[in-house]
Structures are given as C-alpha cells and as structure tokens.
Structure 1
Amino acid sequence: MKFILKAVVIVAAATVPGVALAGQCPAGKSGTDVRADTGAPAKGVTDTVLTTIDVASEPTAIEGRSFRMRRLVIQPGGVVPWHSHGERPAIIYVQQGTITEYASSCSVPIVHRAGEATAELHNTSHWWKNTGKTPAILISSDLLKVGADGKMM
C-alpha cells in the first residue's frame, strides 16, 4: 500500500502544471563556440513589445538601460535569427508550444517546452526555430542598452 501511495504522489507531482527547468545542454555536449551562426534570416516571427521601464529613474538607478518585456509568436518553421546576449541579459518563458534553441555553447539542439523558462546570459549566442506543428509563444524580458538619444539598442 505504501508503495502504491508513493507512486501516486510521484506521478502527481510530475504532472502538476508550473514552471519547469528549461531544457539544458546534455552532459558532454557543451563547450565554447561549438556552434556557429548559420546566417538564417528571421522568418515567421511576430515580436511585440508589451512594456518597458526606464530603470535609470527607478530606485535601482541602472543608467543607460531599459527593462523590456516582449511577446514573440513563432510560426511552425519560423526562425528567430542568430543573436548575442553579450550586452543584453534576458529571461525567456515558453508560454505555448515547443521551440528549439541552437546555442553556441551546445553541439546539439536544445528543446524548450511550454511552462519552461531559461536564462540568457552574457555568454549566450544562439538562434531559435519552431520545429513543431503549432505556433510557439515566448515571453522575453531583457535588460536592454539605451543610447544617448534614448533609443533602445
């Protein structure tokens, strides 16, 4: 009886919706610059800025930065082209669908599923592709540089 109860608890815990750890590069597959830019252009992506905060005027007083939240909808076969987070740390939350990441630090593709979140740090360069059959929706929050003219860079 205890074994059955324990099994039920384990299965229930595994199926409760919530934020899961994002897909990660498998052991032995990570490295520095193990994947290069493919040059694939943006395709099938809608990028909508939801809101921004000028963090220089907030108590954090981070000069030259804006905190931005976007909603990206990537259609099946759609591509978010190669980009770097060297100057723009971000957090991505997969709201719907499945998206595949091709990172410079991993020799194999990394699959991210709905309910997962992942950090994009200064050493992250990558591109994304929706290899699924339904649109993938990502919520992206980043700390963006702002130029002297006040425009986001």
Structure 2
Amino acid sequence: MSHHLLRCATGAMLFSALLSGASAGECPADKLAPNPLNGAATAPMGVTDTELASIDLARENVKLNQRRLRMRHMVIQPGGVVPLHSHADRPALIMVTAGEIHEHSSKCAVPILHRAGDIAREALGTQHWWKNSGSQPVHLTIADIVNDKKPDTMMEQM
C-alpha cells in the first residue's frame, strides 16, 4: 500500500472513530466513577520490565532533583498481571504496541480495554492494575518520570 493510501485509510479510521464518539483505551463517559478496586492483584505475575534509557532531570533545565525521565519496555504474558500501584508521584504515558490488555482503574467502574496503538495517560490520583486476559503477550512502551527516592509509588518489580 502506498504512503498516500495508508495516510488516507488511517485518516478515514480516525474520522470514523471521532464521529462514532469512540474513545479507544479510555473509560466510557457513563462509567466514570470512583472504584475501590476490591480484589486488586497485589503481586506481579508473568511480567518482564526492561529499562531502555533514562535522563537525570536534576541535570536538565527543569532541575527536578531525584527524578528521571525513563523509557521502558514491558511484556505481560497471557494471564500476567501488573499489580495495583499508584501514580501519585509518577506520571506516565503507556503505549500498547502489541496485544490487548484490561486496566482496572480507581477512576472507572468497569475495566478499560487497551488495544495496540492506544496510549494510557497516568497522572495524579490514578491507582490501577492491569491484566492480560488474552492468549497473546502484550507489549507496552512506557515513558514516566520516576522519583527514585519514593519507591512506595511503584512496585520494585515495576
């Protein structure tokens, strides 16, 4: 397929999604509600997390002491779990690059399905856990600002 046809097809899919009100990888508007996350997974299972690179933000113009901007690659095997954790002190952007996974969020009454191409925005107030209920591994590319002096905001395995 030529680049022009690919751009047209991609644009048509995006336009169709906007017209239908679809918001891939987000909590449906009518399901936005506090969720106590009863029964949340508390231990990782079937997860491989690899830090690819990082930048010490104390040395950059933003001068954020004890903070790093990092990029990670995570693989969650079928049945695998990223346990309950908070983003109180660790904003993140998470892109699903392969597979499908459900996020159980403190801000949504139902699990949120994320598919390849979706980007989850994790910010202040977010607590959540993820489960791969499918039959294929899920691949995530994650960029976050981590506070290395506050491990309570992330599982040591994450």
TM-score normalised by the chain length of structure 1: 0.80
Q: Give yes or no for the alignment of 1:122 onto 2:124.
A: yes
Contact 1:35 1:106 (8 Å CA) reproduced: no
The answer for the alignment partner of 1:73 in structure 2 is 75
How many equivalent pairs are there?
Answer: 139
SS at 2:30 equivalent: coil
Quick one: structure 1 residues 10 and 95, their matched pair in 2 at CA, closer, same or farther if it must change by over 3 Å? Answer: closer
Contact 1:91 1:142 in 2 (8 A): yes
Identity %: 46
What whole-Å deviation, never above 9, does each CA across 1:17-51 have from its counterpart, x for those lacking one? xxx96411112211234433524421110011111
Deviations 1:95-149 (A, max 9, x none): 111111000111101000001111101111000011111100001111011339x
Question: Is the CA contact 1:94–1:113 (under 8 Å) kept in the aligned structure 2?
Answer: yes
Q: Which runs of 5+ in 2 are unaligned?
A: 1-7, 15-21
- Give the conservation status (yes or no) of the 8 Å contact 1:47–1:73: yes
Q: Whose helix fraction is larger, Structure 1's or Structure 2's?
A: 2
TM-score (norm 2): 0.78
Structure number, greater radius of gyration: 1
Which residue of 50, 53, 56 maps to 1:54? 56
> What is the identity, as a one-letter code, of the residue corresponding to 1:49?
E
Q: Show the counterpart of 2:13.
A: 14
- The 5 Å alignment of 1:7-46 reads 13-14=12-13, 22-36=24-38, 38-46=40-48
Say what the alpha-carbon RMSD is for the aligned residues.
Answer: 2.7
Gaps of 5+ in 1: 1-8
